[in-house]
Amino acid sequence: MPQSVVILSKGLEKSYGSVRALRGLDLEVKGGEIFGFLGPNGAGKTTTIRCLLDLIRPNGGTVRVLGMDPQKDPVAVRRRTGYLPGELHFDQNMTVADALRFLNSLRAGKADWKFVLHLCEHIDLDLHLAIRNLSKGNKQKVGVVQALMHRPELLLLDEPTFGLDPLVQREVLQLVKEGRDGGATVFFSSHILSEVQEIADRVGIIRKGAVVETADTGALIGRTLHRARVRFLRPVEASVLETLPGIKILAREDDRTINLQIEGEMDRLIKALAAFPVQEFETERPSLEEVFLSYYEADRTVGN
Amino acid sequence: MIAIFRNSLARFRGQILGWGLSLGLMAAFLTRFYDTIANQKDNYLKLMTSYPKELLAFFATSDVVQMFTPSGFLNLEYFSYMTLVVGIFAVLAGSGLLAGDEESGALDLVLAHPVSRTALLAGRCLAFLAAMIAILALNWLGFILAVPGTGLHLTAGELALPMLSLFGLLAIFGALSLLLSLLLPSQRVAAMTSGILLVASYFVNALARMNKDLETLAKFSPFHYYQGGLAIDGMKWDVLAAMVGVSLLFAILAWWRFERRDIRVGGEGGWSIPVLSPRKRGRQNNRNPEAV
């Protein structure tokens, strides 16, 4: 496996009894990128990450992390990775400093304590606080610090900004970017589509245990559906616009205003609108959310 | 492994002080009764011989005269039933060594570090053994401080012998609890099962003194090999070695199981025992961590 591929899985399978959590998951994460892993609860995100760390064993398929098989070399894989679990639990009898020192001792003291202090300062974390008295957000901060403090080659982050206020979210995302800029590869799962859109170089969408789409974030958004709102000077018969390929009228706000969905280039629509008395023309920047939700629209339709 | 050992032992410090000091005080308190009982020997003899033989057998003595010897006194008044009391610690600590953190979700974070499962298990087991030794040492200290000035006339070395026998017994139940915690659905089920086995073993062994038909079954009870206070009269080192060997066997089986199974997610673990749960269509036997 080329060293430029940091995570590689082929046909990954994992079942819990009769429930298939992963169904032939194929995944490739390149070195030095920030890869966003999107999916709702139950899609298989946490199961995937736990397979990468040998916390659970897949039933089929192959997985390689940093060129190693996690089942054969789990300690070697974990030595070079930093992990932030989706749910954090620390020894309640410790202080923040105690907890970080203990976790650092498991890495033979690899982390530079000055760097630990720098990280804590960045996200406003008091080392002297007792774990038992921490809010969920502050516990998350401890989790972020322990994942980053030893400057790992690979970061596995499960919902990294969960429970954090917007200011600290921004700091954490900045730390993630700095980690990438320092040469680390970042693999993170999230429900917050805006943050994935903001920092991820590539996005993978997981649905029912399989990756259904992987692409550069910008390209994925570019391929997606655009929205436009057109207001005419007077009522017009706009249904002719739907005869254009890729154009669909979503709604009519009133007899002069329509909302359109455009697939592909906007040029066709703009040229067609030239024949109409247009008063206002607004377009919406497409979002990752629409791409994401489109993969689940079929499920919701069936559910309804 | 050293970091795991130190951290795990630190987590036991409350239990070491709590159990150790309590047992030490109790040992010191009971020791002072020896002279009272010895001075009232005739009256106690009359009282004890009036008890049913079955009751005496249940408290590990069939020979009432033995009660007035140092070893017999300590065995009857302390080491016979103390196994059930301290056994609670062994059962709860053993079953919680891994399953406790696993069910809380804390084990994920530890095992996401460069720590092998073997090192984690070894570190925690050694910490458990060290905690048990510390508790028994405090217990022993209670005896050592209280014995001078009594008619017991036992040396520190002689007083250590019942502690060793007790250690062997507790090691078996601690290791068994650990193994069960890795086989059964949760720490609670494992602790409950181990507790039942602890009490059942005690009763089978006690009843076997009254009912010869139970003697064969009693040989499967660790209490059958436990000497208690009678170790003062002669320690059976080969039996103690065998008890330690059995606990080591349970620990090895626990290691074998731990190496091969998935780490449960936080919150998993319940009362449902797969063998006993009815299998229904669409019912999942293992919790999917992705499910909400």
- Closest A-chain CA to B114: A75
Q: Give me the count of residues in chain B.
A: 292
Q: Does the structure show a pLDDT above 60 at A204? A: yes
Q: Does the structure show a pLDDT above 50 at A54? A: yes
Q: Do the beta carbons of residue B96 and residue B187 sit within 8 Å?
A: yes
What is the mean predicted confidence (pLDDT) over B274-281?
46
Q: Alpha-carbon distance B9 to B123, whole Å?
A: 9
Q: Alpha-carbon distance A60 to A12, whole Å?
A: 6
Q: Does the structure show a pLDDT above 90 at B189? A: yes
Q: Do the beta carbons of residue B138 and residue B20 sit within 8 Å?
A: yes
Of A16, A46, A87, the CB nearest to B286: A16
Helices and strands in chain B, H and E counts: 14, 0
- Scanning the structure block, which residue is given the tokens 């046909």? A11
Instruction: Quote the pLDDT of residue B225.
Output: 94
Query: What are the residues of chain B with a beta carbon less than 8 Å away from any beta carbon of chain A?
Result: 3-4, 7, 11, 101, 104-106, 108-116, 260, 262-263, 265-266, 282-292
How confident is the model over A222-234, as pLDDT tens digits?
666 678 899 999 9
Q: Does the structure show a pLDDT above 70 at A296? A: no
Cα–Cα nearest to B131, from B176, B101, B86: B86
For A91-245, strand residue ranges (E) read 154-158, 185-190, 202-207, 210-216, 225-232
Instruction: Quote the pLDDT of residue B51.
Output: 74
Q: Alpha-carbon distance A56 to A43, whole Å?
A: 16
Task: Looking at the complex, report in whole angstroms how far the Cα of residue A90 sits from the nearest Cα belonging to chain B.
Answer: 6
Angstrom distances, CA of residue B167 to CA of A68, B19, B20, B73, B156:
43, 14, 13, 20, 16
Q: Which domain, by its residues, includes B198?
A: 2-291
pLDDT level of residue B270 (50, 70, 90 thresholds): low
Cα–Cα nearest to B145, from B33, B233, B35, B25: B25
Q: Which residue has the higher pLDDT, B173 or B284?
A: B173
What is the mean predicted confidence (pLDDT) over B255-282?
67
How many Cβ atoms from other residues are within 10 Å of residue A298's Cβ? 10
Of A19, A74, A106, the CB nearest to B288: A19
Helices and strands in chain A, H and E counts: 10, 13
Say whether B11 and A91 touch across the interface (CB within 8 A).
yes
Of A16, A56, A89, the CB nearest to B266: A89
Q: Alpha-carbon distance A13 to B255, whole Å?
A: 26
Instruction: Quote the pLDDT of residue A244.
Output: 86
Task: Looking at the complex, report in whole angstroms how far the Cα of residue B118 sits from the nearest Cα belonging to chain A.
Answer: 11
Task: Looking at the complex, report in whole angstroms how far the Cα of residue B112 sits from the nearest Cα belonging to chain A.
Answer: 6
Q: Percent of chain B having pLDDT more than 70?
A: 86
| Chain B residues touching residue A132 (CB < 8 angstroms) | none
Say whether A85 and B108 touch across the interface (CB within 8 A).
yes
Q: Which two tokens stand for residue B186?
A: 């949760």
Say whether A85 and B109 touch across the interface (CB within 8 A).
yes
| Chain A residues touching residue B110 (CB < 8 angstroms) | 106
pLDDT level of residue A29 (50, 70, 90 thresholds): very high
pTM of the model: 0.82
| Chain A residues touching residue B108 (CB < 8 angstroms) | 50, 55, 85, 89
Say whether B109 and A50 touch across the interface (CB within 8 A).
no
- β-bridge partners, A82: A155
Q: Which residue has the higher pLDDT, A265 or A256?
A: A256
How many Cβ atoms from other residues are within 10 Å of residue A222's Cβ? 11
Please state the domain count of chain B.
1
Instruction: Pick the range with the lowest mean pLDDT from A142-156, A230-244, A282-296, B64-78.
Output: A282-296
- Scanning the structure block, which residue is given the tokens 């979210």? A169
Q: Alpha-carbon distance B262 to A223, whole Å?
A: 40
How many Cβ atoms from other residues are within 10 Å of residue B18's Cβ? 12
Instruction: Pick the range with the lowest mean pLDDT from A197-201, A215-219, B213-217.
Output: A215-219
ipTM of the complex: 0.81
- Report the DSSP pairing between strands A257-263 and A225-232: antiparallel
Q: Is B257 exposed, middle or buried (0-12, 13-18, 19+ CB in 10 A)?
A: middle
Instruction: Quote the pLDDT of residue A223.
Output: 62
Q: Do the beta carbons of residue A13 and residue A23 sit within 8 Å?
A: yes
- Closest B-chain CA to A48: B290
Q: Which two tokens stand for residue B222?
A: 């660790």
Residue A93 is classified by DSSP as T
- Closest B-chain CA to A58: B262
Say whether B112 and A56 touch across the interface (CB within 8 A).
no
What is the mean predicted confidence (pLDDT) over A76-95?
92
How confident is the model over B216-247, as pLDDT tens digits?
999 999 999 999 999 999 999 999 999 999 99
Q: Percent of chain A having pLDDT more than 90?
A: 49
- Phi, psi for residue B30 in degrees, rounded to 5: -70, -35
Q: Alpha-carbon distance A217 to A265, whole Å?
A: 18
What is the mean predicted confidence (pLDDT) over A158-170?
84
Cα–Cα nearest to A204, from A194, A213, A191, A196: A213
| Chain A residues touching residue B11 (CB < 8 angstroms) | 91, 93
Q: Which residue has the higher pLDDT, B105 or B192?
A: B192
Q: Which two tokens stand for residue B257?
A: 């199981």
How large is the C-alpha radius of gyration of chain A?
Answer: 23
Q: Which two tokens stand for residue B7?
A: 């951290």
Task: For residue B252, give the amino acid letter.
Answer: I
Q: Does the structure show a pLDDT above 60 at A194? A: yes
Q: Which residues 6+ apart lie within 8 Å of B255 measured at CB?
A: B118, B121
Q: Give me the count of residues in chain A.
A: 304
pLDDT level of residue B128 (50, 70, 90 thresholds): very high
- β-bridge partners, A16: A19
Residue B63 is classified by DSSP as -
Q: Alpha-carbon distance A74 to A89, whole Å?
A: 22
Task: Looking at the complex, report in whole angstroms how far the Cα of residue A14 sits from the nearest Cα belonging to chain B.
Answer: 10
